[in-house]
Amino acid sequence: MSTEILVNIAPQETRVALVESGVVQEAYVQRALRHGLVGNLYVGQVQRVLPGMQAAFVDIGLERTGFLHASDMVRLNEAADGALPLISSLLHEGQRVLVQVLKDPLGSKGARLTTLPSIPSRYLVLLPYDQHVGVSARIEDDAERERLRKVVTALVAEMTPDLGVIVRTAGEGATEEALRNDLRFLQRLWTSIQAAGNEAPSRSLVHGDLPLSMRILRDLLGVDVDRVRVDSAEEWGRLRTFARTFIPDAVDIIEHYDGAAPIFDLFGVEDDLNRALDRRVPLKSGGHLVIDQTEAMTTVDVNTGAYTGHRNLEETALKTNLEAAQAIARQLRLRNLGGIIIIDFIDMHDPQHREQITRLLERCLARDPARSVVCPLSPLGLVEMTRKRTRESLGHILCEPCPACEGRGYLKTVETVCYEIFREVQRSARQFEAQAFLVLAAVPVIERLRDDLSVGLAELEEQLSRPVRLQPEPQYLQESFDVVPI
């Protein structure tokens, strides 16, 4: 399987796509006016401590205060009897505290914070307030895991005995010298962060993560990435300079793309990103998915659509569900949908078929770097799952609620708006001693009042003994109107 990383640089915006075997699997967007915050370290000031919630709100200089839970302040395995200490024993209002962003602000929620930072480099993650040495679970070879654990344990004992370290997936096969250089870099970086944190004023940024293109190289670039293509000569030069320092083996696979077609037209990336904003996802069999994202959860409905199968209903359901499971795993990753996810598969009666769907979904999610937990198929054909969410979904980054429907996904009909206008005119007639009433509304609404509802309008005028004048406003949305006493 070939894997490529495509980097598109535009004024004030960077976009990155991870493409596996010609299919877009992940997309990242960073804009100058809207940076992601995950990984950033701030000196915050505690605004409120909530003992009942075991949490505190911390001002880090953003629009909304961040949320800090007691579980993100201590290692439970280090607390006495594994008990969580009271938040009031850890924090007090007005206190300065060094925090790291775990999750970006989402919707109406502020950023999720921790006082237990983790600082990544190419091969390692530094845990300043931990003394644990671990190895990524994605490194499956037992012999390699043991080698890395021994090497890193010895390096930590020699260089940073008070700090903890985790070996990242990219550390597989790394030499002792490479790991040593990585650890030395992290040690120096943490020392500088501590110094900056002591001097910085409250509610200020102490350390920001790398720009998107460099962060992608650090996090995604591994032995399975065949090529990185960048459509900006300047960014290509910066990435190669960065790679020479931190990822020397990757320098030769970073290429400058200067083709005639836009880089995101390769492999249909642009089209895939646009389709990832649609509710409906077609399946090759003729079925389709309907994906709805709310603040609390994401729901996925599987439908057979035009596909009816050739043998029986059970075969149709199985084939559609198998195709849907693969498509769902890809869509969750591409759209970066996280939190609670409910999937409504088509009902199947055969227990083996039901188990087959769950296993396939888990297997398709295995390549997703975001951790997920999948529950067995329920008797109603529902799969409950969670996917770790650290940044905003693609839809939240690229879109905003529709001003016409305010995010509901539907509009009141023209007829409904007309009857609302009738009621508002009656209400105004009771409040104001006006000689007439002027109705300003969208063009289709005014046309309906003049045509199909002209009799009702005449009856209203007779009832009020006052005329009602109509004025179409092309700028008005369908649900918007004004009734003005004149």
What pLDDT score was predicted for residue 75?
65
Predicted pLDDT of residue 1:
73
Q: Judge contact between 445 and 417, C-beta under 8 A.
A: yes
Helix, strand or coil, per DSSP, at residue 10: strand
Q: Output the CA angle 247-253-257, nearest 5 degrees.
A: 125
Helices (H), ranges, 276-379: 313-335, 351-365
pLDDT score of 221:
65
Q: What is the pLDDT of residue 385?
A: 96
Q: Write out pLDDT tens, residues 58-113.
A: 999 998 999 999 999 976 555 545 578 899 999 999 999 999 999 888 777 899 99
Give me the residues of the chain with pLDDT under 70, please: 75-82, 221-223, 306-311
Q: For the whole model, what pTM was predicted?
A: 0.76
* Residue 377: predicted pLDDT: 87
Question: Angle, to 10 degrees, between the axis of helix 414-431 and the axis of helix 443-450?
Answer: 80
106 DSSP 8-state letter: B
37: left (phi over 0), alpha (psi -120 to 50) or beta: alpha
E-strand ranges in 112-238 read 112-114, 119-120, 124-127, 133-135, 164-167, 204-207, 227-230
Between the alpha carbon of residue 222 and those of residues 122, 156, 208, 254, 260, the distances in Å are 10, 24, 23, 13, 29
Nearest to 86 by CA among 56, 112, 108: 56
Which pairing describes strands 372-374 and 382-387: parallel, antiparallel, or unpaired?
A: antiparallel
Note whether 415 and 479 are within 8 A (CB): no
Contact 226, 3 (CB under 8 A): yes
